[in-house]
């Protein structure tokens, strides 16, 4: 049974909590609107459809909004207690700061547990709804997924860019660039046109483009050696009108299946992500073994060639490059350079192929761990906020908000920095997910200790007295000469 003091403390906390949560949620939603809204406005979607989609996309920000809300609300509520001398009155009545913090610590723990279940069960469902809705929009309004002036790779096998999209339902386009994705040994094709338009095809599994006044640049590299490919001229075909069909059945058919898209790790719960992580780990290990074997075979071929060269001159003394004639010397150097250059190119190619697999594994692991880590962040932020509020003893939206924002920015920078390092494969993603909490937790414990011992952490006079011996050396004496 809650006592009157507990009810009063919790009531004081939830006053700023709901206000701050609504403001922060609105700010994060505005950021999503700023990124997404330009793709939908003026293209036939109703206001309800836009709001619904933005809500689906915005639910995921709660996992970041809630910890920051707890930090701000705890600083403001304990700051108000100190500013109104309520903390002093409680301490005078024999109530310790630990007793005052206990009910709100319980509230923070409950909110942390709720955030875990929300992130684990509700956010994946809304992520799935958002992606299905985006696919449905792509089916009925094919131009909606294209942002003017940006390269888009949503069309399977192609990279496209449109400088301008306009007209009724956004069907008219200008400045068209379409590039067919292909490896080094496949045929390449690029289409450039001044104007074009989207045409509704009879078969909805295809996206139809009519392009006007442009060029088709293509080559014929498939199955040919390097020397032949270097000499192969590009073929440029000028056209007045060109009709292109792009197979989008992979996207549309998934969207038609009524929210049954399951090929994204963001749709999965914590336990389901364990299976995805294990599968990704096995696939990576298998691929790494294949890469290692390929590289080792190429290295062994170079070593074998060098051993054969040594065996030919074994009867003679050790071969010195300076004693070899000019033409033979150049041939040997050129051959060695070509082999090393090929080995280097192979290593770079394999490294580029490995990077996406490593990045995907890091993304899945960090997404799974953040379901848990953000819940712990709520408790850490409460310890920091409650301690700072009791030390600062200032309520309102002034100094407490500035300090909270600075702490959150530090947390966010560490979070993003560790994320990029883990995605690059330079750090274990499990460790990278927990480092922000590992950095802030000792700070939260230290701040709690300072608050419990009534530390004058933000007392300016205290720091002036500490620096006084140093400043005194550089300040001139103001005593009048006649008194010296």
How high is the pLDDT of residue 298? 64
Q: What value does the mean pLDDT take over residues 133-154?
A: 67
405 or 253, which is more confident: 405
- Place 484 in a pLDDT band, splitting at 50, 70 and 90: very low
How high is the pLDDT of residue 131? 78
Average pLDDT, the chain: 77
How high is the pLDDT of residue 257? 39
Most confident of 150-159, 233-242, 332-341, 470-479: 233-242
Q: Are 106 and 2 in contact (CB under 8 A)?
A: no
Strands (E), 232-291: 235-247
- Place 66 in a pLDDT band, splitting at 50, 70 and 90: very high
Three-state DSSP at 203 gives coil
Alpha carbons 56 and 36: distance in angstroms, whole number: 12
Q: What value does the mean pLDDT take over residues 52-68?
A: 85
Is the model's pLDDT at 380 over the cut of 50?
A: yes
pLDDT by residue (tens digit) across 290-308? 766 666 666 666 566 555 5
How high is the pLDDT of residue 112? 93
How high is the pLDDT of residue 262? 58
pLDDT by residue (tens digit) across 42-58? 455 667 777 887 888 88
309 or 247, which is more confident: 247
Is the model's pLDDT at 139 over the cut of 60?
A: no
Is the model's pLDDT at 472 over the cut of 70?
A: no
How high is the pLDDT of residue 317? 45
Percentage of the chain with pLDDT > 70? 71
Q: Token pair of 36, please?
A: 């997404």
Please report where in the chains the tokens 């799935």 appear, as a residue. Answer: 128
Domain-wise residue ranges, the chain: 4-141+371-467, 146-256, 268-363
Three-state DSSP at 165 gives strand
H or E segment and range at residue 17: helix 4-36
H or E segment and range at residue 429: helix 429-452
Burial 21-55 (b: 16+ CB within 10 A, else e): beebbeebbeebbeebeebbeebebeeeebeebbe
Residues 6+ apart with CB under 8 A from 114: none
Q: Are 18 and 65 in contact (CB under 8 A)?
A: no
Q: Are 97 and 391 in contact (CB under 8 A)?
A: no
Q: Token pair of 186, please?
A: 């496949």
Q: How far is residue 350 from each of residues 237, 303, 343, 424, measured CA to CA in Å?
A: 35, 20, 11, 15
Q: What value does the mean pLDDT take over residues 106-121?
A: 92
pLDDT by residue (tens digit) across 148-184? 888 877 677 788 888 888 877 778 889 998 888 776 6
Three-state DSSP at 217 gives strand
CB atoms inside a 10 Å sphere around CB 437: 20
How high is the pLDDT of residue 7? 85
């Amino acid at each position: 049974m809650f006592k009157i003091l507990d009810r009063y403390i919790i009531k004081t906390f939830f006053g700023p909590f709901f206000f701050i949560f609504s403001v922060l949620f609105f700010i994060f939603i505005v950021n999503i609107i700023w990124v997404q809204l330009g793709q939908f406005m003026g293209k036939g979607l109703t206001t309800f459809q836009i709001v619904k989609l933005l809500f689906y996309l915005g639910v995921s920000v709660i996992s970041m909004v809630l910890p920051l809300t707890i930090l701000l609300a705890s600083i403001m509520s304990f700051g108000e207690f100190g500013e109104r001398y309520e903390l002093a009155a409680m301490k005078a009545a024999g109530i310790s700061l630990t007793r005052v913090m206990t009910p709100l610590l319980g509230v923070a723990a409950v909110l942390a547990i709720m955030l875990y279940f929300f992130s684990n069960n509700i956010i994946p469902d809304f992520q799935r709804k958002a992606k299905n809705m985006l696919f449905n929009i792509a089916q009925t309004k094919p131009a909606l997924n294209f942002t003017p002036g940006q390269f888009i790779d949503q069309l399977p096998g192609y990279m496209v860019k449109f400088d301008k999209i306009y007209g009724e339902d956004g069907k008219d386009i200008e400045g068209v660039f379409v590039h067919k994705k292909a490896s080094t040994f496949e045929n390449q094709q690029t289409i450039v046109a001044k104007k074009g338009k989207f045409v509704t095809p009879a078969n909805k599994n295809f996206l139809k483009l009519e392009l006007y006044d442009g060029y088709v640049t293509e080559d014929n590299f498939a199955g040919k050696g390097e020397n032949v490919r270097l000499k192969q001229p590009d073929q440029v075909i000028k056209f007045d009108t060109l009709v292109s069909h792009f197979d989008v059945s992979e996207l549309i058919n998934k969207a038609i299946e009524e929210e049954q898209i399951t090929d994204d790790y963001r749709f999965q719960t914590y336990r389901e992500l364990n299976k995805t992580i294990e599968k990704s780990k096995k696939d990576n290990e298998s691929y790494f073994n294949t890469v290692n074997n390929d590289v080792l075979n190429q290295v062994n071929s170079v070593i074998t060639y060098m051993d054969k060269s040594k065996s030919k001159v074994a009867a003679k003394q050790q071969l010195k490059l300076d004693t070899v004639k000019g033409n033979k010397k150049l041939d040997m150097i050129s051959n060695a350079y070509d082999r090393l250059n090929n080995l280097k190119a192979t290593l770079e190619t394999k490294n580029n192929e490995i990077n996406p697999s490593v990045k995907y594994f890091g993304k899945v692991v960090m997404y799974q761990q953040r379901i848990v880590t953000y819940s712990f962040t709520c408790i850490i932020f409460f310890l920091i906020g409650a301690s700072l509020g009791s030390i600062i003893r200032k309520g309102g939206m002034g100094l407490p908000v500035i300090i909270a924002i600075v702490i959150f920015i530090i947390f966010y920078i560490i979070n993003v920095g560790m994320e990029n390092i883990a995605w690059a494969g330079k750090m274990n993603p499990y460790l990278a997910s927990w480092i922000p909490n590992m950095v802030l937790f000792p700070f939260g414990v230290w701040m709690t200790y300072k608050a419990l011992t009534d530390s004058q952490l933000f007392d300016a006079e205290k720091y002036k007295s500490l620096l006084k011996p140093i400043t005194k050396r550089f300040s001139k004496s103001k005593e009048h000469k006649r008194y010296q």
